[in-house]
Structure 1
Amino acid sequence: MTSALTPRQFADFSAFIAQHLGIKMPPSKQVMLQSRLHRRLRELGLDSFAEYHERFFRDEAAQADEIEHLLNLATTNKTDFFREPEHFDILAREILPRWLQQPTGSVFRLWCAGCSTGEEPYTLAITLMEARARQSFEFSILATDVSTRVLQHARTAIYSEEQIAPIPQPLRAKYLLRSRDRQNRQYRIVPEVRAHVSFGHLNFLAPDYGLRELMDVVFFRNVMIYFDRPTQTDVVTKICHHLRPGGHLFIAHSESLQGQPLPLRLRGPAFFQHEPSALRT
């Protein structure tokens, strides 16, 4: 098998990925993409990157069959339970109590935009289950991602002992089921939590996200780092179209929306309130 992806081949794949996902693929990502494509070539029984490149860009039928696999390979899916935990505290201690005092509907609606393998939406569900033990309310969580591979994993709700390590022990006892086979050390989120989370495929470059309900809270964390600035602005603008006025948007602490023309007001560390009349310029 050819040992390296050529710069021209990488440039073609990089441009295709940027066009279809908005994900930046600078030359520093060539080794990563090459490694991931190695595995795909073996699955297809191909002998070289040149053969894969030719098949992908010259055969429309082959590209249609392969595009989902390539886009899955292009996405990075680092996530954890209770990642940046202060955001979940803010949700439970500040945002939810205000919503309970003046509910905007019969259901508290959240959207985990870029949910990866499911740790974040299940963390949101566990956080709200804990709050619901103190005061009854209904909630629903929509979790979306562009990668069909990670969505399949997320729907199973099965995680290794290492993956569940950030979950506090009392919450593990309440919300996780351990495998009956004690040797495989796997855990599954309990049905009561899973029932509140629905998963769907969504590409942030799509012109219409197709959401039927306005959201009270959106978690859009550790996604923008893969987009250039114009794409960031475009995507967050579309997210705001699905965020209820007065609703809240969370981004990662490593990300910034500073200077972008968006209808958002900073309310705390990496979280914003949707104020359509306060368009930032």
Structure 2
Amino acid sequence: MIEAASPKTPHRDRFRELIRSLTGISLPPSKVQMIDQRLRRRVVAFGLTDTESYLEQLLGGSLPDNELRTVIDLITTNTTSFFREPNHFDFLVETIAPKVAARGRPGRPARLKLWSAASSEGAEAYTAAMMLEEARRGGHDFDFAILGTDLSERMVERANAAVYGTDQLTTVPPELLRRYFLSSRDPGLAGKARVVPDLRRRVKFRNLNLMDTRYPVDRDVDVIFLRNILIYFDPATKEQVVDRLAGHLRPGGYLIVGHAESMVVRCSALRQVKPTIFQKN
């Protein structure tokens, strides 16, 4: 039987500080149950009795070298969904896409660059791709490329596969579901659908840690989605991450954050144009 660990233990405190230093994510004592739940399978896998014993071995270097990466994946992975906070995608196609299209020349359409900076398993990036492709179908002449990045290598792998269960697709409008997803004839993929190849070619995913001091990303991005991740950072980390991301926006580019995060963006290079949308000066 696995015993619950006290929120105030030396190894747990060291673990929380390690996660904060590596990922920027703060895990206050109130998150003790969440930590226990997410690490439960790892405790069982190594035949240990409780989370504290597991953390003692993890921090002491007694577990396999890749175990810390596994733990980071478990602790930092958060759920996402298609068309979450849909007003952001309305702004993308009604305001940003026309501005980008206006930059183009006859025979040389401008390219809209979008960065989903905490992309999880890709729902946000593919939602943006569907909406941008719809804007192109509606007459706006522009090209687009989307980059999704995430700390979790497991989530990046899933996003690149672009395969989703039908339960994950309930928020996708039926017409877009028919146009942009393909069901497989493989019995092993029953109840799942994959993003169509034309859309997948426009969306790429790779691993990136927002705590890094430099990001290997273009510095003329039109819009960065940074939604529902700042809430996990302490104030200093929030400011540092936003400052670094602002450096990758083209003048006039946009940073879009989650509805719970509009009050935490503090950056002299950005001005607020809507409650959750900021534009680079």
Q: Determine helix, strand or coil for the equivalent of 1:163.
A: helix
TM-fit CA distance, 1:63? 6.7
**Matching of residue 234 in structure 1 with residue 234 in structure 2:** no
Q: 1:96-245 to 2 correspondence within 5 Å? A: 96-103=97-104, 106-133=110-137, 134-180=139-185, 184-245=190-251
- Of the three residues 18, 22, 38, the one matched with 1:16 is 18
Code of the residue aligned with 1:224 in structure 2: it is L
Q: Is the 8 A contact 1:249 1:271 kept in 2?
A: yes
- Percent sequence identity is 38
RMSD after superposition: 2.1
* Conserved 8 A contact 1:33-1:73: no
Distance 1:63 1:26, change over 3 A: farther
Partner of 1:4: 4
Is the contact between residue 103 and residue 110 of structure 2 (CA under 8 Å) also seen in structure 1?
A: no
Deviations 1:105-158 (CA, angstroms, capped at 9, x unpaired): 842111000001110000011111111112332210010000112112111111
Structure 1 equivalent of residue 91 of structure 2: 90
Question: Alpha-carbon deviation of 1:193?
Answer: 0.8
Letter in 2 for 1:219: F
1:39 to 38, 41, 44: 41
Q: Which residue of 2 aligns with 1:54?
A: 56
Aligned to 1:278: none
Give the C-alpha shift of residue 184 in structure 1.
2.7
Aligned partners of 1:43, 1:2: CA distance in 2, in Å? 12
Q: What one-letter code is carried by the residue in structure 1 that aligns with 2:95? A: E
For 2:116, the aligned partner's letter is C
Task: Describe the SS at the equivalent of 1:162.
Answer: helix
- Contact 2:238 2:265 (C-alpha < 8 Å) held by counterparts: no
Equivalent residues of 1:111, 1:143 under 8 A apart? yes
Report if aligned partners of 2:239, 2:265 keep a CA contact under 8 Å in 1. no
Q: Distance in 2 between matches of 1:250 and 1:44?
A: 42
1:10 is paired with a residue whose SS is helix
**Distance verdict in 2 for CA 1:207–1:259, change over 3 Å:** closer
Using the TM superposition, name which of 33-42 and 63-72 deviates more.
63-72
Query: Structure 1 pair 271/193, CA: closer, same or farther in 2 (3 Å)?
Result: same
Unmatched segments (≥5 aa) in structure 2:
none
Q: Deviations over 1:29-82 (max 9, x none)?
A: 1111111111112334444434422322222x7474222111111114121101
Q: What are the equivalent positions in structure 2 for 1:58-73 lying under 5 Å apart?
A: 58-59=60-61, 62=63, 64-73=65-74
Change (3 A) 1:56 1:181: same
Q: CA deviation at 1:89?
A: 0.9
Question: Structure 1 residues 103 and 268, CA, compared in 2 at 3 Å: closer, same or farther?
Answer: farther
Match of 2:262 among 246, 256, 273: 256
Partner SS, residue 261 of structure 2:
coil
**Structure 1 length normalisation: TM-score?**
0.91
Gaps of 5+ in 1: 276-281
Could you tell me whether the CA contact under 8 Å between 1:57 and 1:63 is conserved in 2? no
Match of 1:79 in 2: 80
DSSP 3-state at the match of 1:272: strand
Q: Deviations over 1:174-222 (max 9, x none)?
A: 0011132578311111111111111011111101112134211111111
Aligned equivalents of 1:82 and 1:34: distance in 2? 31
Partner Cα distance (2:77, 2:71) in 1 = 12
Equivalent AA in structure 1 for residue 85 of structure 2: E
Aligned residues: 274
Rounded Cα–Cα distance in structure 1 between residues aligned with 2:123 and 2:172: 10
